Amino acid sequence: MADRITSPFGPYTDARDVVAGQDLSGKVAIVTGGATGIGIETARALAEAGAEVVIAARKPDLAEAAVADIRKTAKTEVGWSMLDLSSLASVRAFAGRWGGRPLNLLINNAGVMACPLAYTEDGLEMQIGTNHFGHFLLSVLLAPNLVAGAKSGWGSRLVSLSSIGHRRSAMNFDDPHFRHRPYDKWEAYGQAKTANALFAVGFDRRFKDRDVRAFAVMPGGIMTPLQRHLPLEEQKAMGWIDDDGKVRDGFKTPAQGASTSVWAAVGAELDGTGGLYLEDLAQAVPWSKEHPWAGVMPYALDPEAAERLWALSVTTTGADAA
228: how many CB neighbours lie within 10 A of its CB?
A: 10
Residues whose CB is less than 8 angstroms from the CB of residue 207 and which lie 6 or more positions away in sequence, other chains included: 143, 146, 147, 213, 214, 321
From the candidates 119, 189, 277, 299, give the one annotated as an active-site residue: 189
How much helix, strand and coil, in percent to the nearest 5, is found in the chain? Answer: 45, 15, 40
189: annotated active-site residue: yes
Amino acid at 64: E
The amino acid present at 322, given as its one-letter code, is A
CB 41 within 8 A of CB 301: no
What residues have CB less than 8 Å from 196, skipping those under 6 apart? 108, 131, 132, 135, 160, 161, 162, 163, 166, 216
Neighbouring residues of 179: CB distance < 8 A, sequence distance ≥ 6: none
Q: Among all residues, which ones are annotated catalytic? A: 189
